[in-house]
Amino acid sequence: MPDFDVAVIGAGAAGLSVAAIGSGLGLRVALIERGRMGGDCLNYGCVPSKALLAAAHAAAEARRAGRLGIRLPEPEVDWAAVRAHVRGAIDRIAPNDSAARYRGMGVEVVEATARFTAPDEIEAGGRRLTFRRAVIAAGSAAVVPEIPGLGAVPFLTNETLFDLEERPAHLLILGGGPIGLEMAQAHAWLGCRVTVIEAAPRVAVREDEELADGVRAALAADGVAFREGAKLLRLEPGTGADRVVAVLDGGERIAGSHLLLAVGRAPRLEGLGLEAAGIEAGPRGIRTRPDLRSVSNRRVWAVGDIADPEGIGPRAFTHVAGQHAGVLVRAMLFRLPGTRVDYAALPRVTYTDPELAQVGLTEEEARAAGHTDLRIQRWPLSENDRAIAEGRAEGLVKLVATPGGRLLGAGILAPRAGDMAGLYGLMIGRRLPLSALASMVLPYPTLSEGGKRAAGDFYAPRLLSPFTKRLIGLLKRLP
Ligand SMILES: Cc1cc2nc3c(=O)[nH]c(=O)nc-3n(C[C@H](O)[C@H](O)[C@H](O)COP(=O)(O)OP(=O)(O)OC[C@H]3O[C@@H](n4cnc5c(N)ncnc54)[C@H](O)[C@@H]3O)c2cc1C
Ligand SMILES: NC(=O)c1ccc[n+]([C@@H]2O[C@H](COP(=O)([O-])OP(=O)(O)OC[C@H]3O[C@@H](n4cnc5c(N)ncnc54)[C@H](O)[C@@H]3O)[C@@H](O)[C@H]2O)c1
C-alpha cells in the first residue's frame, strides 16, 4: 500500500489546485514545496506585477487627467509605500495558499525539495514517500541566457525585481515579451527611465502585429525607449549609478542602473531525479500525452508551466495551470476517456495600458494552422462612444473568422481588454457563430460594443445586398 494516493511536487497555481481537489475527493495527498507556498504567481509573478502596475497606473491617470480638463501636479512616487502596497497584496492573498490552510484540508504538506528515487517513490526532507500517482507541478524559472559579461554585472529577474529597495534610475530590460512590456510601462510610469532591448524584429512578437504596434506606441508615448531587432553583444560593468552597460551589435552602448532579464522561462527540471523514475523530459518540459500523463511513466503526470503536452511547449499562464488541474482530475482521477488539453479558446493578456488580449488564434496563427480563407472584422475604438467619452479612443477589436462566420480568434487592444476576453473564449469554445455576438444586447455605452459592431459588420454586405433590397421591396407590398 503506497503512502499516498497522490504526491504533488510544487505548490504553485497548478499543484495547489490538484492537491485541493484530490483531498476534497477523499484521497491521501502529499504536497511538497521547497520555496514559498503559492509559487511564482503569488510571490514573484502575477500578483506583484499587477500590484506594481496598479500603483503605476494611478500615477499615469493623474498625469493624463489633463485631457479631461483636470490638471493635477506631477504625482510624487513614494517607492517604499509602493513596495508596501505590492507586499500587502501578496500578504493578503497568501493565507489562501498557505501550508496551514492545506493541512486543514487534510493535505500532508512537506516543506522540502522533492526528487524521484524510483518510479513510485519520492525523497523529500529525508523522508521517502511512495505514491500511487505523482503530479509534477514544479513550474518554470526565468531563463538566464549565456551573454558575455553577464557574470560580471548585477542583474534582476522576476524573483528579485519586486524586492528592490531603491527606484531604478534607468532600467534596462532584456526581452520585449509580456514580462518585459508590463514591467517597462510600470517602471516608466513610476518615474524610471526604461529601455527595452528585444532580439526579435519587434516587441510582442507572438502577438498580432497591428495590436502589438498599438502597445509599442503607447509605451513609447510613456517614454519607454526600444531597441528592436537588437543583438546584444556583451554586458560590461558601468561606472557610478550606471552599473551596467549593454553593448549592441553596431557599437551602441546603453548604460543603465539596473538590468532585468525577461527573455523567457525554462522548466524547473533540475534536481527532480527524473531519470530514477524513467520520466522523459526535453528543454520545453515534461513530455506528456494530451491528457497530461507522462509519455514514459504511467504513474506520473505533469501540470502547469512544466508540462509539455504533445511537444508544443508550455502555455505559461496561471489560468492554464487551472485548466490543467481540471483535465488532470477528469483524466487521472475520474479516468474519463478522451479527456485532453485544448488550447483553442485560450486567452492571454498583456496587462499594459491599453491591454492586449488575445483569445484563440491571431490572423497569422490561423493562416499557419491552414485556414487560407479568413474573414477579418475590425472595429476601432475611435468609433466607440464610451472610448470617446473617456478620451481613450486608441485601440481596436479584431475578429478572425471562417467564411461561414465561425470565430477562430479575437484580439482586443483596449483599456481592460482582458475583462472582455471571456466572451470570446465562450464563443470559440462553444463554436458560436458571429451572429450570436452580433445579435447580443450589450449595455450602452461600453467598450464591449466594439466586438458586437465588428461581428455585425460581417453580416452587413449580406443584409444590404441587392437580394435583400428586392426582398424588402416585395414584402412592403404585403398588407
Ligand atoms: C512576472 C510574471 C508575471 C506573470 N503574470 C501573469 C499573469 O498576469 N497572468 C497569468 O496567467 N500568468 C502570469 N504569469 C505566469 C504564471 O505566474 C505561471 O504560469 C504560473 O505561476 C505557473 O504555475 P505553476 O504552478 O505551473 O508553477 P509555479 O508557480 O512556478 O510553482 C511551482 C512550484 O514548485 C516548486 N518546486 C520546484 N521544484 C521543486 C522541487 N524539486 N521540490 C519541491 N518544490 C519544487 C517551486 O518552488 C514553486 O513554488 C506571470 C509570470 C511572471 C514571471
Ligand atoms: N500577462 C501575462 O499573462 C503574463 C505576464 C508575464 C509573463 N507571463 C508568462 O510568462 C512567460 C514568459 O514571459 P517573458 O516575457 O519572460 O518571455 P517571452 O518568451 O514571452 O518573451 C521573451 C522575449 O525576449 C526576447 N529575447 C530572447 N532572448 C533575447 C536576448 N538574448 N536579447 C534580447 N531579447 C531576447 C524574445 O524574442 C521574446 O520576445 C510568458 O510567455 C507568459 O506565458 C504571462
Q: Are residues 155 and 241 in the same domain?
A: yes
Alpha-carbon span 140 to 283, nearest angstrom: 11
Q: Which phi and psi angles does 245 have, rounded to 5°?
A: -120, 125
Which grid cell sits at 19?
A: 492537491
Q: Are residues 325 and 382 in the same domain?
A: no
Instruction: Please write down the HEC assignment for all residues of the chain.
Output: CCCEEEEEECCCHHHHHHHHHHHHCCCCEEEECCCCCCHHHHHCCHHHHHHHHHHHHHHHHHHHHHHHCCCCCCCCCCHHHHHHHHHHHHHHHHHHHCHHHHHHCCCEEECCCEEEEECCEEEECCEEEEEEEEEECCCEEECCCCCCCHHHCCCECCCCHHHCCCCCCEEEEECCCHHHHHHHHHHHHCCCEEEEEECCCCCCCCCCHHHHHHHHHHHHHCCCEEEECCCEEEEEECCCCCCEEEEECCCCEEEECEEEECCCEEECCCCCCHHHHCCCEECCEEEECCCCEECCCCCEEECHHHEEECCCCCCCCHHHHHHHHHHHHHHHHCCCCCCCCCCCCCEEEECCCCEEEEEECCHHHHHHCCCCCCEEEEEEHHHCHHHHHCCCCCCEEEEEECCCCEEEEEEEEECCHHHHHHHHHHHHHCCCEHHHHHCCCCCCCCCCHHHHHHHHHHHHHHHCCHHHHHHHHHHCCCC
Kindly give the number of the ligand 1 atom that is closest to the alpha carbon of 271. Answer: 41
Q: Are residues 292 and 258 in the same domain?
A: no
To test the pocket of ligand 2, the residue of 185, 265, 351, 356 to mutate (highest count of ligand atoms within 8 Å of its CB) is 265
- Whether 213 is in a domain gets the answer yes
pLDDT at 187: 98
Alpha-carbon span 263 to 251, nearest angstrom: 22
Please tell me the distance between residue 230's alpha carbon and the centre of ligand 2 in angstroms.
15
- For the Cβ of 49 lying below 6 angstroms from any atom of ligand 1, the answer is yes
The number of C-alpha atoms within 13 Å of 226 and in the hemisphere containing its C-beta is 24
- Whether 67 is in a domain gets the answer no
Ligand 1 atom 37 nearest Cα:
138
- Whether 374 is in a domain gets the answer yes
Q: Are residues 225 and 354 in the same domain?
A: no
- For the Cβ of 179 lying below 6 angstroms from any atom of ligand 1, the answer is yes
Boundary residue ending a domain (333, 359, 378): 333
Q: Are residues 411 and 437 in the same domain?
A: yes
Kindly give the number of the ligand 1 atom that is closest to the alpha carbon of 37. Answer: 49
Name which of 138, 136, 142, 135 is nearest 45 in CA terms.
142
Kindly give the number of the ligand 1 atom that is closest to the alpha carbon of 316. Answer: 19
Q: Are residues 413 and 434 in the same domain?
A: yes
Q: Are residues 132 and 166 in the same domain?
A: no
Buried b (16+ CB within 10 A) or exposed e, 216-241: bebbeebebbbbeebebbebeebeee
pLDDT at 161: 98
Q: Are residues 204 and 285 in the same domain?
A: no
pLDDT in tens, the chain (479 residues): 999 999 999 999 999 999 999 999 999 999 999 999 999 999 999 999 999 999 999 999 999 999 999 999 999 999 999 999 999 999 999 999 999 999 999 999 999 999 999 999 999 999 999 999 999 999 999 999 999 999 999 999 999 999 999 999 999 999 999 999 999 999 999 999 999 999 999 999 999 999 999 999 999 999 999 999 999 999 999 999 999 999 999 999 999 999 999 999 999 999 999 999 999 999 999 999 999 999 999 999 999 999 999 777 889 999 999 999 999 999 999 999 999 999 999 999 999 999 999 999 999 999 999 999 999 999 999 999 999 999 999 999 999 999 999 999 999 999 999 999 999 999 999 999 999 999 999 999 999 999 999 999 999 988 888 999 899 999 999 98
Boundary residue ending a domain (249, 264, 279): 264
- Whether 277 is in a domain gets the answer yes
Kindly give the number of the ligand 2 atom that is closest to the alpha carbon of 231. Answer: 32
pLDDT at 312: 78
What is the value of pTM for the model shown?
Answer: 0.96
- For the Cβ of 143 lying below 6 angstroms from any atom of ligand 1, the answer is no
CA angle in degrees (0–180, nearest 5) for 406-423-391: 110
- Whether 78 is in a domain gets the answer no
Q: Are residues 365 and 416 in the same domain?
A: yes
Alpha-carbon span 311 to 321, nearest angstrom: 17
Q: Are residues 199 and 291 in the same domain?
A: no
- Whether 292 is in a domain gets the answer yes
The domain in which residue 123 lies consists of 4-37+98-142+266-333
When divided into structural domains, the chain yields a total of 3
Ligand 1 atom 51 nearest Cα:
45
pLDDT at 464: 87
pLDDT at 462: 84
- Whether 317 is in a domain gets the answer yes
Residue 131: give its domain's CATH number.
3.50.50.60
Please tell me the distance between residue 354's alpha carbon and the centre of ligand 2 in angstroms.
18
pLDDT at 430: 96
Residue 391: give its domain's CATH number.
3.30.390.30
- For the Cβ of 40 lying below 6 angstroms from any atom of ligand 1, the answer is yes
Please tell me the distance between residue 49's alpha carbon and the centre of ligand 1 in angstroms.
13
Kindly give the number of the ligand 1 atom that is closest to the alpha carbon of 265. Answer: 53
- Whether 305 is in a domain gets the answer yes
- For the Cβ of 257 lying below 6 angstroms from any atom of ligand 1, the answer is no
ipTM computed for the complex: 0.97
Boundary residue ending a domain (309, 333, 357): 333
Number of other residues whose CB lies within 10 A of the CB of residue 41: 23
Q: Are residues 20 and 136 in the same domain?
A: yes
pLDDT at 219: 98
Q: Are residues 290 and 433 in the same domain?
A: no
Burial class (CB in 10 A: 0-12, 13-18, 19+), 70: exposed
